[in-house]
Structure 1
């Protein structure tokens, strides 16, 4: 159902807290330059959570026929409904134009079955788009950007499996000179009018594909710290809502989330949450929970029913708690470190009555049923790590009913 767009997100008038973090961290898949700043309280969102616009309800445990009509898809035990937690995974897809549509569908079915096996009810499809540099005004496809048509096939298969779907374009950083400290969060387009016009042109076909395949959410931007609050977002979101009937969201990076108000005219806010915790490898789950809560409390105490953890993850390696988003380092493998982190994050989501969590990540071309090759794989990979998979299943089968069932939220 179409919902009215929210005004700029409001901020409760609570006290301001100052802090300084002295060391650099890596957030998500980019290096983060951390600076001191003031902390403002939790923002209050006034919109409703998005729901899939239609789709088959099906009976639990039923199978659906794939688009090719030759394979069966295992369906989720219980399809997501408004008010339930989003238990999901970020699926990152760097397309290869030489891959056939049959290959794309095969991989989508493989991942759908794996996600159902984890007891997930949601999936977010993240894929790259490109720019020419920090000051560029051009947004473009690249060889790794799936076409809207190919995206539609993947969404259709996930929808048939009963999964709640999110579409999430993500600015690739290969042209932003990461070695010099640049990343998607500090782009500075020379002409913002031209940048937003180019971005709208890029997004519109994907919004159409998402609408056609009944996606629940479209993330209009991710980790674009330097662009947040620009008045031009209003027109961009207006256009998106003319095309897409679902929820329009924005995913903030964790540093900006705790450091100030996120003023974006969207229905829902996600957070890419890589909060560093000063703890040893043998830290208990409760210690990690306390570490997360200290960060969240800088913004607001109490429940956070309007917030979704859009990305959470950590390397299965020693020393990871101090830089959970470190994509590049490959220290000694420590599976229990990753599993305990996942357990702690899930506990925070439930205790703070959040909307859900999406684990980062699975790569589209990988087979999630195989153990990662730690000689080449990112330590953040969780598929094929039994301890972490057990933690995810425990989270996704918990008795947490979701923020929509709690009158105090």
Structure 2
């Protein structure tokens, strides 16, 4: 009898040890579009950082903030910015069991901020709405075709959503007729409380560039304290809507004062500061990844040619080939 019990206990322990780890969070990377197809060598670093999701970002282009025509899916774009490119990326990621969020984005001429897109007449508003409908429904159809887990219906379009809420409500209804997966919208960090249609979506999406520290090299503790200004508002908001929050983008540049204005992407500004990036990122994980109401997030940003990007002299957002990559890898493994 004693040996039988030992045998049963041993089998139970072996069964537990063999059970696969099931992540509790969306541990994502923002997979940047490139000019060429990808293969397993481009996906291997995504797997190595323990990511289970990737945001795929096809693009549409607008000439100016008051111009209503969106140009998209053309031969003049990079491969990864088109429908065919997005599909190829998704299929290659699927081979490594990486789920996807399709996140179509707009680029305004001269890099102007999409949140300030604003038409000057009812006629141009209607033209923009028709053009955006064509753009987003193209990727809703792709999301259905590839069985994407999440579709993000827009990114940082504050004035567009503010002044045309009826359009967005109708657009969401139309998207749902095509695609039955999860929907979100990527609101800027200071926009999400004003977005009018969260109750029609599945996640409250936030591009999480909240200011958390004015220090040159903020400590983890500095940034955790900085989050105390923002986290209670996020908690109150998610409770009121009874939906999880998803950081559709998060991340910090490896630069001095990285927590002061985390949205600043001016390539020429700031001295390299790898510690600042590490500390701010770790504070974000410590603040949110344990919370049940928090779904996870997508680090900004991840390039397909891993060996040729980032590095110790790079002061931009990518975590690749920097100390912060190990921080992300460890938290993604844990959660």
What range describes the TM-score normalised by the shorter chain of this pair?
0.7 to 0.9
Aligned to 1:16: none
The structure with the largest alpha-carbon Rg is: 2
- The Cα of 1:299 is off from its aligned counterpart by 4.7
Change in CA separation of 1:248 and 1:303 when aligned onto 2, cut-off 3 Å: closer
CA RMSD of aligned residues (A): 2.4
Q: Does 1:184 align with 2:114?
A: yes
Q: The residue matched to 1:316 in structure 2 has which SS?
A: coil
- The Cα of 1:194 is off from its aligned counterpart by 2.0
Higher helix share: 2
Give TM-score scaled by structure 2 length.
0.82
- The Cα of 1:390 is off from its aligned counterpart by 1.1
Q: Does 1:287 align with 2:227?
A: no
Aligned to 2:300: 360
Q: The residue matched to 1:228 in structure 2 has which SS?
A: helix
Q: Distance in 2 between matches of 1:324 and 1:128?
A: 23
Q: Does 1:89 align with 2:89?
A: no
Give TM-score scaled by structure 1 length.
0.68
Aligned to 2:10: none
- Partner of residue 274 from structure 2, selected from 335, 357, 362: 335
- The Cα of 1:391 is off from its aligned counterpart by 0.6
Could you tell me whether the CA contact under 8 Å between 1:302 and 1:352 is conserved in 2? no
Aligned to 2:328: 392
Change in CA separation of 1:166 and 1:257 when aligned onto 2, cut-off 3 Å: same
Could you tell me whether the CA contact under 8 Å between 1:285 and 1:340 is conserved in 2? yes
- The Cα of 1:246 is off from its aligned counterpart by 1.1
- The Cα of 1:224 is off from its aligned counterpart by 0.3
Q: The residue matched to 1:220 in structure 2 has which SS?
A: strand
Could you tell me whether the CA contact under 8 Å between 2:115 and 2:159 is conserved in 1? yes
Q: Structure 1: 5+ residue runs without aligned partners?
A: 1-76, 401-409
Change in CA separation of 1:370 and 1:134 when aligned onto 2, cut-off 3 Å: closer
Q: The residue matched to 1:340 in structure 2 has which SS?
A: helix
- Partner of residue 120 from structure 1, selected from 39, 46, 51: 51
Change in CA separation of 1:209 and 1:79 when aligned onto 2, cut-off 3 Å: farther
Q: The residue matched to 2:103 in structure 1 has which SS?
A: strand
- Partner of residue 257 from structure 2, selected from 319, 322, 328: 319
Once the two structures are superposed, what CA deviation does each residue of 1:143-179 show, in whole Å capped at 9, x if it has no partner? 2353322321211111121112011111112x1x55x
Count, aligned residues: 301
| Residue correspondence of structure 1 range 5-404 to structure 2 within 5 A | 84-93=24-33, 95-96=34-35, 99=36, 104-106=37-39, 109-141=40-72, 143-144=76-77, 146-173=81-108, 175=109, 177=110, 182-189=112-119, 190=121, 191-229=124-162, 230-257=165-192, 260=194, 262-264=196-198, 265-301=200-236, 306-328=244-266, 329-353=268-292, 354-364=294-304, 367-370=305-308, 372=310, 379-385=316-322, 387-398=323-334, 400=335
Q: The residue matched to 1:227 in structure 2 has which SS?
A: helix
Q: Distance in 2 between matches of 1:303 and 1:262?
A: 14
Q: Distance in 2 between matches of 1:248 and 1:397?
A: 26
Could you tell me whether the CA contact under 8 Å between 1:318 and 1:331 is conserved in 2? yes
Q: The residue matched to 1:231 in structure 2 has which SS?
A: helix
Could you tell me whether the CA contact under 8 Å between 2:161 and 2:195 is conserved in 1? no
Q: Distance in 2 between matches of 1:303 and 1:247?
A: 17
- The Cα of 1:225 is off from its aligned counterpart by 0.4
